Chains A and B, each alone.
Chain A
Amino acid sequence: GNSVTQMEGPVTLSEEAFLTINCTYTATGYPSLFWYVQYPGEGLQLLLKATKADDKGSNKGFEATYRKETTSFHLEKGSVQVSDSAVYFCALGTYGNKLVFGAGTILRVKS
């Protein structure tokens, strides 16, 4: 079946550090891939997406590339800020836009 595995957290970084959160997936067919973010006290919101192999999604300085050969969609940011502290969820989209989520990775950025 379809599944998503992402690195366990929490990930604690200092401001301006480089961020990588690993995400790998198992899926039949060619799913779309997403990163959603949940800021404290808020609902999940879409951060970025990629719909086919080699696509790069980007938003707010975050990037992720759809790698079919390694079934991965790792999230990266060159310089994190305190305001990036949140829970990050990798997800894949299947038929009917049903999303399958990873367990989430807590990111804490210290000033």
Chain B
Amino acid sequence: GAGVSQSPRYKVAKRGQDVALRCDPISGHVSLFWYQQALGQGPEFLTYFQNEAQLDKSGLPSDRFFAERPEGSVSTLKIQRTQQEDSAVYLCASSLARGKTNEKLFFGSGTQLSVL
């Protein structure tokens, strides 16, 4: 596709439910990032993939958060046993290069997760 695609656009979950958020990066992009954006705040880094390898997961807030990118393209962010504090917009971004500090990131529109 032309850009980074995320689905679903909105997700409402009951507390304790598991959720899975999908990201389709731009074709051919090597690097993929997940960010969490709380209301009124800037995005915060969660995890980074280079192809299928998860090189950095230092931003994942707990072991309830798990991300994968098994074939180096589509990525899934899974949150188990959701809590109210997980409510946020989850952003996916991709870039062509392998972890250069000045490389442009292309962001999706995000998935807005509301945990009731």
Binding site for B on A (CB under 8 A): 4, 31-32, 36, 41-46, 49, 51, 89, 91, 93-104
Contacts and interface: CB of A to CB of B under 8 A. Distances in A.
Contacts of A36: 107
Interface of B: 3-4, 31, 33, 35, 40-45, 48, 55-56, 91, 93, 95, 97, 99-110
A101 B42 contact: yes
A44 B45 contact: no
B43 A94 contact: no
Given A99-B43, A104-B41, A44 B104 contact: no
Given A43-B107, A44-B43, A44-B91, 9 more contacts: A4-B42, A45-B106, A89-B42, A96-B55, A99-B35, A99-B105, A101-B43, A101-B44, A104-B42
Contacts of B4: 43
Given A32-B101, A46-B104, A97 B95 contact: yes
Given A42-B109, A43-B110, A97 B44 contact: no
B31 A97 contact: yes
The 7 closest A-B pairs by CB, nearest first: A101-B42, A32-B102, A44-B107, A96-B99, A43-B107, A93-B101, A43-B109
Given A32-B102, A51-B102, A100 B45 contact: yes
A93 B93 CA distance: 14
B42 A93 contact: no
Given A42-B109, A43-B91, A95 B42 contact: no
A99 B45 contact: yes
Interface centre among A41, A42, A49, A97, by most chain B C-beta atoms within 10 angstroms, is A97
